[in-house]
A and B are shown apart, each in its own frame.
Chain A
Amino acid sequence: MRNKKRKQEAASAYEKVFDALSLPKTAAGLTTTVTITGKDSILVEGYRGIIKYSDTLVLLNAPKYIIRITGVDLEITEIACEYISLRGVIAALEYTH
């Protein structure tokens, strides 16, 4: 619990430094970049892992929040440590804490 709190404080300090220097937060992995192309393709950069995967729901772990993607026939076209690319009929994209 204490470790988690320390980590959160460190991240917050990093964020303040990046804000002060006007540096992009994605470079430090402090935030994610979501690119939606049309309504059938989505690319999430800077995610931390998959929490839940099915053909109608994908939950992705991201710094500070969880990305919830709902749709139909969702398929992972490409996946790597830094990014995940999904294809299918996207219905909604939500950020939850």
Chain B
Amino acid sequence: MAILDILNFSRGYVSVKATGEHLERFINMCTCENINIWNVKSRGLSTLTACVSVKGFFLLKNICRKTGTKIHIISKKGLPFLSLRLRKRIGLLIGFAVFVLASFWLFSHIWYIDVDTSTSIPSEELLSQLELAGVEKGTPLRQIDPNKVQARLLNLNPRLVWAWPHVRGNSLYLEVREKVSVPEILPTNPCNIVASHSGLITSMLVKEGRHVVTEDMYVSEGQLLVGGIMDSVAMGVRYVHADAEIWATTEESLSETFSLITSETNRTGNNSVRYTLKFGNLPISTPLIGKSFAAYETEDTESTFHIGSVYFPISLIKTEYMETLTETVVCPQEQIEQEAQQYLETLLQNSLKNGMILEKRFDIQKLDDKTISVTLNAVCSRQIALAEPIEEEINIGRETD
């Protein structure tokens, strides 16, 4: 019904009042002459109102004469009559034309880009690659060929296995799939397991190879722990890739010197602001509100104008300038000691990987007024298994010893 109303409005129609004794005959003749007539309402015994198309109205003359009906126009409605009334208002027409053109232009470009964040590839990287593939804010919709964009993205990023730009209105959503790395192939070359550190073995789990040492034995660095040469009566001599998890208690020591003098950059609390209104790629900035600083940090906050999911190329950027001051300060020795201890402990923990520190002791020595030396002595539990490729002559010799 609404479509019919819109169609009638666009064509224009006349609302009329018909008065006469033979109104039924009038309606019948209208239908016979294919005159478009609707919304017929009775207004008494000899009166009715109806809507008639403009074309049909001019054909009513003959029917009225034959049926003795008088027609009065109540109102003229529709686009043709409206445009006639508004034709002298040039500004309105220009405004309407500008609105239509602007709407057409706005809805035929991409104004919002979103990327798949479920992968390990950062969104910024994908956005920059999408830009290199020819898609950015303001790109006309007709220029976006998903197949070409996909091919370019796959060429630009070797980590991608599939990508597809979904265009929804004037927004674009980039969906990507990351390559799954091939599982690591376990090495098969013959090797022994030797001790990477000196220490007391606490646990041993030998997956492949021949036991050379046992638990509760003290081993020194480089000592053979698991042999890669298997010898048996049934199979004879064969070389294997020895594999084992061997945990031992080791003694570790780390030493470092630290300066008491440091430079600190602090915010003074003095801020200035600048607003930028961005139309597409055209920025219009306000003057700096506040003082200008010699050293400062900036923070940008961008908000894009949108109605629901329809984004427009208009954004407001608030740039905040925060004054900073860099000073050289002599820190208290206790503070540096604490930081140094934490640093050395983290360093040791990182070198242990899955291991752990069982006992620790820090030795602090003041070298001069501005420098201290910190030494960490620790007892740790760590993996000491280290694969060493077999050099046949040497290893046969070592195993036979």
Question: What is the interface of chain A, defined by CB distance below 8 A to chain B?
Answer: 49-55, 74-81
Enumerate chain A residues within 8 angstroms of B40, measured Cβ to Cβ. Answer: 53, 75-76, 79
B37 contacts the other chain (CB 8 A): yes
Partner of B24, one of A53, A55, A74, A80: A53
Among A49, A77, A78, contact of B28 (Cβ-Cβ < 8 Å): A49
Known A50-B27, A50-B28; contact A77-B38, beta-carbon cutoff 8 A: yes
By the criterion CB–CB under 8 Å, are A79 and B24 in contact?
no
The answer to whether A54 and B42 have CB atoms under 8 Å apart is yes
Q: Is B32 on the interface with A (CB-CB < 8 A)?
A: yes
Q: At the interface, is chain A mostly helix, strand, loop or mixed?
A: strand
| 14 more CB-based (< 8 A) A-B contacts, given A50-B24, A53-B40, A74-B42 | A49-B31, A52-B24, A53-B23, A53-B42, A54-B42, A54-B45, A55-B42, A76-B27, A76-B38, A79-B27, A79-B30, A79-B37, A79-B38, A80-B31
Q: CB of B39 within 8 A of chain A?
A: yes
Q: CB-CB < 8 A to B42: which residues of A? A: 53-55, 74-75
In the complex, how many residue pairs between chain A and chain B have their CB atoms under 8 Å apart? Answer: 43
Give A59 Cβ to nearest chain B Cβ, in Å.
Answer: 8
Using A53-B42, A54-B45, A55-B42 as known contacts, say yes or no to A79 and B31 having CB atoms under 8 A apart. yes
Report Cα–Cα, A21/B40, bound state, in Å: 40
Question: Which residues from chain A contact B45 at a C-beta distance below 8 Å?
Answer: 54
A55 to chain B: which residues have CB within 8 Å?
Answer: 41-42
Encode contact with A along B11-42: 1 for CB under 8 Å, 0 otherwise: 00000000000011001101110100111111
**Chain B residue contacts of A50, Cβ below 8 A:** 24, 27-28
Q: How far is the CA of A28 from the CA of B276 in the complex (A)?
A: 74
Which B residues form the contact surface with A (CB < 8 A)? 23-24, 27-28, 30-32, 34, 37-42, 45, 48, 50
Report Cα–Cα, A56/B30, bound state, in Å.
22
How far does the Cβ of B42 sit from chain A's closest Cβ, in whole Å? Answer: 4
The CA-CA distance from A75 to B50 in the complex, in Å, is 10
Bound CA–CA A81/B30 (angstroms):
9
Contact present for A53 and B27 (CB under 8 Å): yes
**In whole angstroms, how far apart are the Cα atoms of A2 and B45 in the complex?**
36
Residue contacts A-B, CB under 8 angstroms, 14 given: A49-B31, A50-B27, A53-B27, A53-B48, A74-B42, A75-B39, A75-B41, A75-B42, A76-B38, A76-B41, A78-B38, A79-B27, A79-B31, A79-B38
Q: Are A81 and B37 within 8 A (Cβ)?
A: no
A15 vs B40: C-alpha distance when bound (angstroms): 34
How long is the Cα–Cα vector from A76 to B50 in the complex, in angstroms? 9
The residues of A that contact B23 with a CB separation of less than 8 Å are 53
CA of A77 to CA of B39, assembled, Å: 4
Nearest chain-B residue to A83 (Cβ)? Answer: B31
By a CB distance below 8 angstroms, the chain A residues around B50 are 76
The 4 closest A-B pairs by CB, nearest first: A76-B40, A55-B42, A50-B24, A49-B28
How many Å lie between the Cα of A78 and that of B40 in the bound state?
A: 8
In whole angstroms, what is the CA distance A76 to B32 when docked? 16
Q: What's the least CB distance linking A50 to chain B, in Å?
A: 5
C-alpha gap A54/B45 in the complex (Å): 7
**Could you tell me the distance in whole angstroms from the C-beta of A97 to the nearest C-beta in chain B?**
20
Which one, A51, A54, A81, contacts B34 given CB within 8 A? A81
Q: A79-B31, A81-B31, A81-B32 are in contact. Are A51 and B38 (CB under 8 A)?
A: no
Kindly report which residue of chain B lies nearest to residue A57, judged by CB atoms.
B42
Given the complex of chains A and B, what is the CA–CA distance between A40 and B135 in angstroms?
A: 55
A76 to B24, CA, bound (A): 12
Contacts of A79 in B (CB 8 A): 27, 30-31, 37-38, 40
